[in-house]
Amino acid sequence: PNPSPGVTNGAMQFKLDAQNQEKAGNFSAAIDLYLKIEVGSLDDVDLLEECWEQAVVLASKFVTNRTVEVVQIVAERLIHVGRYEPAADLYIGVDMGRQAVKVCMDGELWDKARAIVKEYDPGYADQVEQAYIASLKQRGNEGGKVWFAIASLFTSPHSNLD
């Protein structure tokens, strides 16, 4: 059978081999095969994410000594393809709250960053707010001056919001 457009035979073979290893109960081998599917081997980012997250599922259920390692690999790959929220969720799943916050900040997921920092690392909240304000200022420099003005109103000690 011919693979769908944008899919290499190698990537699909890795996926099929991984699924066969899963069925045989060889979970560590299945994880390795899922992780062999890298950016560039598939054009379908959703399929990449699905394969990588399956590696995380297998590690967390069956090969627990590899969970953190697999999460770190998969999260970095998700970040590389612009999937910040699932990457942050993976870090939260292995109690790497600070890393999850950093991923959210990189992806400009400010509400999620604030929620995570509140629960996992309250001492880091000021850095999140400073990064948020810097982001608004940067956005202001790129033509979104309304955002900067709004941020200035709420962050300035001299604002006239009586």
Residue 41: band (very low, low, confident or very high) from pLDDT cuts 50, 70, 90: confident
pLDDT value, residue 152 = 57
pLDDT in tens, 21-39: 999 999 999 999 999 999 8
Q: In the predicted model, what is the mean pLDDT of residues 123-143?
A: 85
pLDDT value, residue 75 = 98
DSSP string for 48-76? HHHHHHHHHHHHHHH-GGGHHHHHHHHHH
User: What are the distances in angstroms from CA 138 to CA 63, 83, 91, 126, 162?
Assistant: 43, 22, 27, 18, 28
pLDDT in tens, 66-119: 999 999 999 999 999 999 999 999 999 999 999 999 999 999 999 999 999 999
pLDDT value, residue 103 = 97
Q: In the predicted model, what is the mean pLDDT of residues 156-161?
A: 49
List, in sequence order, every residue forming a beta bridge with 80; answer none if it has no partner. none
R_g over Cα of the chain = 20
Structure tokens at 105: 């900040």
The pTM of the full predicted model, rounded to 2 decimals, is 0.81
